[in-house]
Amino acid sequence: MVKTLLSLLFSALLLAGAAVGEYFFVKTRFQKMDAALLVLEEKTLARRASADDGEAVKALWDSEKSKLHIVIPHNDISYIDYWLSEAIGYLETENYEHALSKIRVLVNICRQLPRTYTVDFENVF
Q: Are 51 and 93 in contact (CB under 8 A)?
A: no
∠ CA 102-108-91, rounded to 5°: 20
pTM for the full predicted model: 0.82
Q: Give the count of beta carbons closer than 10 Å to the beta carbon of residue 38.
A: 13
Q: Are 107 and 37 in contact (CB under 8 A)?
A: yes
CA distances from residue 62 to 19, 55, 59, 68 in whole angstroms, order as listed: 24, 10, 5, 10
**Residue 107 pLDDT:** 96
Q: How far apart are CA 43 and CA 3, in angstroms?
A: 60
For the chain, residues with pLDDT lower than 50 are none
**Residue 122 pLDDT:** 63
